[in-house]
Amino acid sequence: MTFTEVIQHIFISPDEPRLRAGWRVAAQMGIMLALTVVFACPLGVVIVAAPEWLNLALILGTAFPVLISVPLARKFIDRRSIVSLGLQMSARTFTDLLAGVGISLVQIGLIFGVELAFGWAQVEGFAWQAQSGLRVAGGLLLWLLLYMAVGFYEELLSRGYHLQNLEEGSNTFWAVLISSAIFGVGHLTNPNASWVSTLGIMAAGVFLAYGYLRTRRLWLPIGLHIGWNFFLGPVFGFPVSGLDAFHLINLQVSGPELVTGGAFGPEAGLLALLAQILGAGLIWVYTRSPLPGEEKVIDGSE
């Protein structure tokens, strides 16, 4: 199936008594855009009054439109339940979440270790040297909660609504490619974003889609997303998709931007691709076998 045939099939094929997949995705994005405009006004006031809350405002300004538009579109346009996007609870739900967080820790540890080994990053201090233990714990907890929200709503949107609708309307290859491209473009408004960072985020979208395809649930990619953001920024001190906030380690990165990602963070660098290859291998190992008593739901041949 060519790209032109995919687009035609996504939007035109009349074999379902509801809007085709392309129109469903377009409608959801339209609702989300309208809600983004609505929420931009009060959040803009907050940013002007308290610039230090910029990052939090950006997260909330994205979260609310997604968390409202996806359930609305799923119920009234898709005519499906929100749970059917891969939010079913099972014996593996919490295991998938924890596995995702653990895999991401290994990935960020790899990036951190390589940059230190090559002299591309230097540790200049730690948060507890300048702040009380209570403030440090509070900062970690706050950003953990924020990144839990980000991991949930971005996966609900990208690997949930977009990927799965596009897969219904075309095939898995094009669904992963198009949904990951939308995911990458969606980060263009982040600080220090560029076409290189967009490609990097798109690659991350492909990696996260692999986590979904191996389980046909969103819990593993949600865990991967939460862990990646949390360990990348608050723990190891890198920028997260261009955003800089509380970090446990004061890190100074000075290596080649093509490799390290520069001011946008590792997601715009080649090291992130290395980490994603490692992560994909760990996902494959983790999903090779179901838990005892659980039916295997892995997609594809072994």
Q: What is the pLDDT of residues 61-95, one digit of tens each?
A: 889 999 999 999 999 999 899 999 999 998 899 99
- Residue 298's pLDDT band, with cuts at 50, 70 and 90, is very low
Within-domain flag for 4: no
Q: How far is CA 181 from CA 40, 140, 184, 286, 293, in A?
A: 24, 31, 5, 27, 37
Instruction: Note the pTM of the prediction, 2 decimals.
Output: 0.89
Average pLDDT estimate for 236-256: 92
Within-domain flag for 66: no
Within-domain flag for 30: no
Within-domain flag for 134: yes
CA 107 to chain centroid, in Å, comes to: 15
Give me the domain span that covers residue 279: 89-286
Q: How far is CA 93 from CA 72, 102, 152, in A?
A: 24, 14, 13
Within-domain flag for 224: yes
Within-domain flag for 55: no
Give every CB contact of residue 212 below 8 A, 6+ residues apart in sequence: 86, 155, 159, 163, 218, 220, 221
Within-domain flag for 26: no
Angle (CA) 98 281 294, round 5°? 50
What residue has token string 């996007």? 85
- Residue 8's pLDDT band, with cuts at 50, 70 and 90, is low
Question: What's the chain's average pLDDT?
Answer: 89
Domains in the chain, number: 1
The pLDDT of residue 59 = 79
Within-domain flag for 280: yes
